[in-house]
Structure 1
Amino acid sequence: MLDMLVVGGGYVGLAAAVAVKQAAPHLDVVVIEAAPETAWKKDTRASAIIAAASKMLEVFGIWDEIKPEAEPITRMIVTDSRTGDPVRPVFLTFDGEVAEGQPFAHMVPNLTMVGALRGACERLGISIRHGVSATDFKTGDTNVTLTLSDGSALEAKLLVACDGVRSKLRDMAGIKTVSWDYGQSGIVVTVEHERPHNGCAEEHFLPSGPFAILPLKNNRASLVWTERTSDADRLVAADDLVFEEELERRFGHKLGALHTVGERRAFPLGLTLARDFVAPRFALAGDAAHGIHPISGQGLNLGFKDVAALAETVVEADRLGLDIGSINILERYQTWRRFDTFRMGVTTDVLNRLFSNDIMPLRVARDFGLGLVDRLPKLKSFFIGQAAGTAARDNPRLLAGEAI
């Protein structure tokens, strides 16, 4: 019988397996991934990795492998305007460092991050089974049995679902969610531009939703462009000339000529929060537990916080000779993570509703609020510490750069 089964071979699932196996090498950990073995190599997107998460990757021994491809965010500016405004006044600026020489976040290509995590799995002896999906699971007193699409079955003490916001395992476990659709989609695309960005990230609040420009290596940027779903679908289906013309209206000319690189995709945006994070011998992590609006860039980092908290809970229980799949043990993980997740979900929901409109009284109020924060250095430092994940008092040890 295995000790831990992880369903989902993305960055959260792989990180969960690495975190537990590295701290407790005697535990048998297996990852199940429905996609073919080479599918991850086709991901051209990039993700924001906050300072606390990069500390965890450093503990894993893979940050030095990732860092050469990671672009530090040295500065961030926030504007609130309409698409056709000739000038976009900057209401709020953030210095990108939480400490001397430590950026609050880096932009990391998904290909680089997943590749490094897969390498760590290989070094630790973690098996990754590709091309099979979970079809059912049954929970017993001492084990959980997972049935796979190839007809085989695996037994473990603990099953961890990292299978995304539409988690099938979450449904199988009977865990309900609080969810709603925003009627928006996020267009994700990479662009090349003529002039250097100097590590500056930008968040433009436009009436249809936020338009984020996130710096990458080699005069490139990753865009998260929020539009009403019907408009997003139309833009993604448009030819390159139409798409880049609309893109330029929002991006502006400050970085010179630009053009898109690779495919463009649109993802529907909504809020999904699991009512419970655990059940007997079962735990949710990452998007399976919470899907939030990308307005704060915290979705993946919430998943990494789940990983750090779950691994610490499991490993400490094992060291005490306790059953790692016991509901009493898993409830500690739930208590640790559920409030923070709900708080972030509510925060992103409020921010999206506040800024994704063109109602004049709200515009005046939010612009006044942004300007006020910009004039209070201590408040700005607090916000940047929260965004970097370094200010939380209850951080798991991995997020503080400490081994479990």
Structure 2
Amino acid sequence: MDNPEHTIILQSMTEQPHVLIVGGGLNGPALALALAQGGKRVTVIDALPQDVRQADEFDGRAYALALASQRLLSAIGIWARINDHAQPMLEIKVTDGHAGRGPSPFWMHFDHAEIEEGPMGYMVEDRYLRRALIDAMAENDAITLLDGQSVVAQTVSPSGVSVTLEDGIEITGDLLAGCDGRTSGTATRAGIKRSGRDYGQTALVCAITHEKPHHGVAHQFFMPPGPLAILPLTGNRSLIVWAEKTELAQQINALDDHNYLEVLRPRFGDFLGELGLEGKRFTYPLNLTVANALIAERLALVGDAAHGIHPIAGQGLNAGLRDVAALAETVILAARRGEDIGSIQVLERYQQWRRFDMATLVTATDMFNHLFSNDNPLLRAGRELGLGLVNALPPARRAFIREAAGLTGDLPRLMQGKTI
């Protein structure tokens, strides 16, 4: 049966949308805003109800945004909405070691003062970023949001692409963007297969309060079962992303809060004083899943729908936003030249732009996880030597800092903080 509310919304559209976006998490709305800024009409279809996405309470989720991602959010009008809630990452300390034994004497220290651009990145809580994106879409007449609706079918013709919603409504556009995650139905319906594997690790994610200030320092502690990231939030709080072998992670997550912290403390150390939990605790399995193609006829994949990677370097959302910037620039420039934005010739430019960067990131995160998530004496000695060597060489250290800030490679205009 048709949903009357959605029928009214669709009847109010004076013109057919140029782009249909499936997925209203973070990448989908960012893409919608970037395209609308370039004159495109966009419809965003999201399976979750809007009130769920706009929840005010802190649920423990937050994101490490590289400087280039912050520039994109500024260029599409989002950063001003969340700036007061963002915590700059001023330093990153990378160490190797064992839980309860302290870090290795060989480590890397990255300081934002070594580059001219400013902080390497920012930590932003999910509740602020998600709500800012939804509010900005609601204020933009070129964007229509259909929430609480799933896509059940999609068809392609020479003149356009159509999606059918679960209530039977059909919407047609020139281009379909799949921003619907690692199990992307958009990719599956287009016949795009995936490659990857399970890491046998599960991430435990939570936010903690601590007695002492973090001073904007992010920590990455590599342990044999998997890495532990301690990422600064506003106030005396930090986000924890802690990878363990799956069986042990499930046992830890089943503990009550007190015993959970007892397991975390020897891994975390005492450098921030007493610890407490804030918000919910999460787990998610760690795997590698990469689409074998980023495009099909009148279709492009973005974010986790294109590449789901290990969180070892915190680059998942940043990679997705780089997809957003590249696809928006490709589409908007093609439209200005009078080209069909859904043509395979146009979409191939997006795929070529993103293919090398994506392959490099996938390879790097996969290699780092294998190199550091083990207790092989030879590998441990090699990686400790490597950490110490990079730290002792200022040019190498600055190169890593610029990479962490997302300032390397062929940057789309939005990642430079420029409009298209």
Query: Given the two structures, how large is their TM-score scaled by the length of structure 1?
Result: 0.97
State which of 357, 377, 381 in structure 1 corresponds to 2:374: 357
Deviation at 1:96, TM superposition (A): 2.7
| Separation (CA, whole Å) in 1 of partners of 2:158 and 2:318 | 33
Partner residue, 1:38: 51
Partner residue, 1:343: 360
| 1:104/1:388 contact within 8 Å kept | yes
Partner residue, 1:84: 100
Deviation at 1:44, TM superposition (A): 3.4
| Separation (CA, whole Å) in 1 of partners of 2:68 and 2:100 | 38
> What's the C-alpha RMSD, in Å, of the aligned pairs?
1.2
Q: Is 2:212 aligned against 1:212?
A: no
Deviation at 1:231, TM superposition (A): 1.1
Letter in 1 for 2:131: G
Partner residue, 2:415: 399
Deviation at 1:84, TM superposition (A): 2.6
Deviation at 1:208, TM superposition (A): 0.6
Deviation at 1:347, TM superposition (A): 0.4
Letter in 2 for 1:33: D
| Separation (CA, whole Å) in 2 of partners of 1:180 and 1:381 | 33
| 2:106/2:385 contact within 8 Å kept | no
Partner residue, 2:156: 139
Q: Is 2:26 aligned against 1:8?
A: no
Counterparts of 1:358-397 in structure 2, within 5 Å, are 358-392=375-409, 394-397=410-413
| Separation (CA, whole Å) in 1 of partners of 2:365 and 2:25 | 23
| Separation (CA, whole Å) in 1 of partners of 2:174 and 2:103 | 59
1:238-270 per-residue CA deviation (whole Å, 9 max, x = no partner) reads 111210101111111111100111111111001
| 1:197/1:215 contact within 8 Å kept | yes
Unmatched 5+ stretches in structure 1: none
Letter in 2 for 1:372: L
Q: How many aligned residue pairs are there?
A: 401
Identity of matched residues, %: 45
Local SS of the residue matching 2:273: coil
| 1:98/1:388 contact within 8 Å kept | no
1:82-124 per-residue CA deviation (whole Å, 9 max, x = no partner) reads 1131555351111134644610110011111111112221222
Query: Given the two structures, how large is their TM-score scaled by the length of structure 2?
Result: 0.93
| Separation (CA, whole Å) in 2 of partners of 1:130 and 1:168 | 17
Letter in 1 for 2:35: V
Unmatched 5+ stretches in structure 2: 1-15
| Separation (CA, whole Å) in 2 of partners of 1:44 and 1:357 | 28
1:333-363 per-residue CA deviation (whole Å, 9 max, x = no partner) reads 0000011111100100000000001111110
Letter in 2 for 1:132: Q
1:29-77 per-residue CA deviation (whole Å, 9 max, x = no partner) reads 0100001111123553000111111111111122122111110111111
Deviation at 1:173, TM superposition (A): 0.6
Letter in 1 for 2:288: L
Flag as ranges the 4+ runs of structure 1 deviating above 6 A: none
Letter in 2 for 1:8: G
| 1:48/1:106 contact within 8 Å kept | yes
| Separation (CA, whole Å) in 1 of partners of 2:103 and 2:282 | 29
Partner residue, 2:123: 107
Letter in 1 for 2:26: Y
| 1:98/1:385 contact within 8 Å kept | no
Partner residue, 1:130: 147
Local SS of the residue matching 1:102: coil
Letter in 2 for 1:196: P
| Separation (CA, whole Å) in 1 of partners of 2:320 and 2:235 | 28
In 2 relative to 1, CA 98–38 (structure 1 residues): closer, same or farther, beyond 3 Å?
Answer: farther
Deviation at 1:277, TM superposition (A): 0.3
State which of 11, 36, 54 in structure 2 corresponds to 1:21: 36
Deviation at 1:391, TM superposition (A): 2.4
